[in-house]
Structure 1
Amino acid sequence: MYLRGPFADDNIRALQEDGSNCSIFSFDITANRSALPLAKNALKKLRTLRHPGVIKVLDTVESDTYIYIATERVVPLRWHVKRKSLSPETAKWGLYNIARTVKFINNEASSVHGSLKVASVYTTESGEWKLGGFEVLSNVKEDDAVIYTYGSLVPDSGRYTPPELASGWDALKRSPHSAVDAYGFGALVFEVFNGSFNGGDQAGQTKNIPPSMHSSYKRLTNANPKARLSVANFLEQGRRHGSFFDSPLIKLTDGIENLGVKTEEEREEFLDDLEQLTDDFPEDFFKMKVLPELLKSVEFGGGGPKAFGVVMKIATKLSNDDFESKVTPVLIRLFGNPDRAIRVCLLDNLPLMIDRLPQKLVNDKIFPQIVTGFTDVAPVVREQTLKSVLTLVPKLSDRTINGELLRYLAKTANDEQPGIRTNTTICLGKIAKHLGNSTRAKVLIAAFTRSLRDPFRTAHCASCPPSAPP
């Protein structure tokens, strides 16, 4: 993988022991010995700085000739910027996450990143933006911090260096330590919306930047470091009601992290917002972060039918492989759930999922769970179970259809609810082609004869040919 600066500009894909993807950042000591302090600093800070917005390190290897850092699977943000593949909503969401990370670095870690730009940001497989580029990240309390000596050695640093550092990086000590990162974050904002930042002449320019962000953004790159808006304050202003970080996607991504501890009222409100999905939202995030949380909420956290409805909305965009690995195992467990609201919801959504489910799975694992609904004390469960037969039949074996299924339909044909009796007759007529030759006539004659004697007029009509009088 790639850390702009001392690390190699390549994209090495690797597998962890469990088969999942990771990225490798590499540094050739022999070819870049003068930059070794930068590489060692990046290695140290990535190991020790823990925050959700920082690239996650899995392992590191040091030798006399190379440094390797294995991380979660990431790709450079600049790839997306060059392709102009970021929607405005996604761009704001990404900047919001980076701003939170920079705030942590400046405030809680009492440090300066010193190299904020598009080349220091990466995107994960879920689409989240993570911060790297730690070659000169330094704690301001350290007199011999790397940034004072090596700040100017980071590639392209001249383009991103704020004006107060023109005479040297020691000038950091005479300004608020957050001022350098504020200027760099302003450059990052410009790059995200325009593709590149060519130097101080573009600092504060608002071309292509969302109008709601203009005022706060321009203060990030104020020529006077003491008058510069810190990234923490930029984040605070953006979070205000109606401001640039008060967006549906940001609310959603913040909310999904705490879904399990929300009250029922908060969860309902969150799911209402989640139902208003748009194509502007990053599909990978929904697949890898939102979907698993919703599935957990449905199965364990009281998310209920509404959460499952959103699950199915997201699942329609999944590949067959992703559906099989992420959704199917939970579906199998949910069909065994005694909660009637969940069972009815599953049956309602069965047409949306049936084509994704293998025949053997439906016949051997799901159908045995569904048939308990034929004898449920709640009429609505019996009714929905009966209606599901037409969806299930193409996935059932002949033995199951002509055996277990017909035995249950014989019971619903005599149900106390006239609507269920009526629908049983209709169901038998529609699945007749799936019945065995030896049983078809016997079953249908018995069913239609019984229906003709039914005192419920609609049940009686269900057994009549379309042209026959009731």
Structure 2
Amino acid sequence: MLRFLKGVVGGVSGTGLKDLPYNIGDPYPSAWGSWTHHRGTSCKDGDGSPVSIFSLSASNAQDSLLAAARNGVKRLRTVRHPNILSFLHSTEVETVEGSSSRITIYIVTEPVMPLSEKIKELGLEGTQRDEYYAWGLNQIAKAVSFLNNDCKLVHGNVCLASVVVTPTLDWKLHAFDVLSEFDGNNGNATGPMLQYEWLIGSQYKPMELAKSDWVAIRKSPPWAIDSWGL
């Protein structure tokens, strides 16, 4: 059953008070991190066009997950590339029940499905599977190259869960909560370069990141961390 979201709040997109007219449908079984990935449709002009809606909630306004999520929203809104998930809208809603409140961040994007779910749905085998994987990995490599080389940004969290698939079977990179500038030119810095690196699963951390060796990381090329994820 679809439920109508109409968040009249100060959006994280910085556009002030705004309605968010989208129907939120059933969630997919998986999503990156603490986010929930919903199917959705647009109510604009009554066209009912499909979208994806990502949501993340916390009961504490100071929760670090919210801070990281806001970073992800800001980054996804400003970074545009054919192989990066297309941002449509975002808003932040506070709901109050009695003496407690809950804050939820919503991101609306082009319609996509988690890569893990699409792989199950397609059921490809043999050469067909290998060719599709190679094609998809090439698309993600292009997205990572754009972030690292053109934007001097580090995604920091390239993994299966950070990839989604469009209806035309194109792979798109998202999950920008950890995304940070690469400050390799700051040779005197010793503190963390990725503010939210604690969100990254240990299996996706190269040795230098696992050891928090930020000096070595800053001496490495911008693509060093993300190439490990690939």
Q: Same fold (TM over 0.5)?
A: yes
Equivalent residue for 2:55? Answer: 26
In structure 2, the CA distance between the partners of 1:150 and 1:123, relative to structure 1 (3 Å rule), is same
Task: State how far apart, in whole Å, the 1-side matches of 2:68 and 2:172 are.
Answer: 19
Is residue 13 from structure 1 mapped to residue 40 from structure 2 by the alignment?
A: yes
User: Alpha-carbon deviation of 1:62?
Assistant: 1.6
The Cα of 1:89 is off from its aligned counterpart by: 1.9
Using the alignment, how far apart are the partners of 1:77 and 1:168 within structure 2? 29
1:169–1:76 CA distance, 2 compared to 1 (3 A) = farther
- Aligned residues: percent identity? 37
2:68 to 16, 22, 38: 38
Deviations 1:290-325 (A, max 9, x none): xxxxxxxxxxxxxxxxxxxxxxxxxxxxxxxxxxxx
State the SS of the aligned residue for 1:70. Answer: strand
1:44-59 equivalence runs, <5 A? 44-59=74-89
**Offset of 1:152 from its aligned partner?**
2.0
- 1:148 aligned partner: 194
Amino acid at match of 1:75: M
Q: Following TM superposition, by how much is the alpha carbon of 1:82 offset from its aligned partner in structure 2, in angstroms?
A: 4.4
Counterpart of 2:205 (choices 158, 161, 165) is 161
Corresponding residue for 2:221?
Answer: 176
Q: Which runs of 5+ in 2 are unaligned?
A: 1-26, 95-102
Q: Which amino acid aligns with 1:153?
A: L
* Gap change, CA 1:169 and 1:133, over 3 Å in 2: farther
Check conservation: 1:42, 1:134, Cα contact below 8 A: yes
The CA distance in 2 between the partners of 1:35 and 1:147, in whole Å, is: 18
1:151 partner amino acid: E
Post-superposition CA distance 1:349-403 (Å, at most 9, x none): xxxxxxxxxxxxxxxxxxxxxxxxxxxxxxxxxxxxxxxxxxxxxxxxxxxxxxx
Residues 178, 199 of structure 2: 8 Å contact kept = no
Shift of 1:11: 2.7
Against the structure 1 CA distance between its residues 147 and 72, is the aligned structure 2 distance closer, same or farther, given a 3 Å change threshold? farther
> Which of the pair has more CA radius of gyration?
1
What residue in structure 2 maps to residue 62 of structure 1? 92
How far has the Cα of 1:149 moved from its partner?
A: 2.9
Aligned residue pair count: 182
Three-state SS of the structure 2 residue aligned to 1:181 is helix
Alpha-carbon shift at residue 182 of structure 1 (Å): 0.7
Q: Write the mapping of 1:120-139 to structure 2, written as runs, cut at 5 A.
A: 120-139=162-181
Distance in 2, Cα, partners of 1:52 & 1:125: 14
1:395-432 deviation per Cα after TM superposition (whole angstroms, max 9, x unaligned): xxxxxxxxxxxxxxxxxxxxxxxxxxxxxxxxxxxxxx
Distance 1:75 1:4 in 2: 12
Alpha carbons of structure 1 residues 30 and 159: separation in structure 2 relative to 1, 3 Å: same
In structure 1, distance between residues paired with 2:176 and 2:91? 17
Which residue in 2 is equivalent to 1:426? none
Q: In 1, are the aligned partners of 2:162 and 2:174 still within 8 Å (CA)?
A: yes
Residue pair 1:41, 1:146 contacting (<8 A) in 2 also: no
Where in structure 2 are the equivalents of 1:285-304 lying within 5 Å? Answer: none
| Counterparts of 2:121 and 2:49, CA distance in 1 | 26
The CA distance in 2 between the partners of 1:172 and 1:81, in whole Å, is 33
Q: Partner of 1:90: helix, strand, or coil? A: helix
Residue 16 of structure 1 deviates from its aligned partner by 4.4
Instruction: Spell out, residue by residue over 1:131-169, the C-alpha distance to the aligned partner (whole angstroms, 9 max, x if none).
Output: 101111111139799853320233xx1011011222216
Letter in 2 for 1:183: W
Q: CA 1:81–1:31 in 2, change beyond 3 Å: closer, same or farther?
A: farther
Contact 2:52 2:111 in 1 (8 A): yes
* TM-score of the two chains, using structure 2 as the length reference: 0.71
Higher strand share: 2
Do 1:25 and 1:68's aligned partners in 2 also have CA atoms closer than 8 Å?
yes
Aligned counterparts, 1:443-462, within 5 A: none
Answer yes or no: is the 8 Å Cα contact 2:192–2:212 preserved in 1: no
Q: 1:444 aligns to what?
A: none
Q: Letter of the 2:160 partner, please give it.
A: V
Q: Is the alpha carbon distance of 1:94 and 1:180 closer, same or farther for their aligned partners in structure 2, counting shifts above 3 Å?
A: same
As a proportion of its length, which structure holds more helix?
1
Find the partner of 1:81 among 119, 135, 145. Answer: 119
Q: Distance in 2 between matches of 1:136 and 1:172?
A: 16
Please give the alpha-carbon distance, in whole angstroms, between the structure 2 residues aligned to 1:21 and 1:83.
19
Give the secondary-structure state (helix, strand or coil) at the position aligned to 1:127: coil
Q: Tell me, yes or no, if the aligned pair for 2:86 and 2:110 is still in contact at 8 Å.
A: yes
CA distance in 1 between partners of 2:203 and 2:226 (Å): 14
- Find the aligned partners of 1:125 and 1:164 in 2 and give their Cα distance: 37
Kindly state the Cα deviation for residue 66 of structure 1 after the two structures are TM-superposed.
1.1
- Give the equivalent residue in structure 2 for 1:100: 142
The offset of 1:63, in angstroms, is 2.9
Q: How far apart are the structure 2 equivalents of 1:84 and 1:28?
A: 31
What one-letter code is carried by the residue in structure 1 that aligns with 2:58?
I
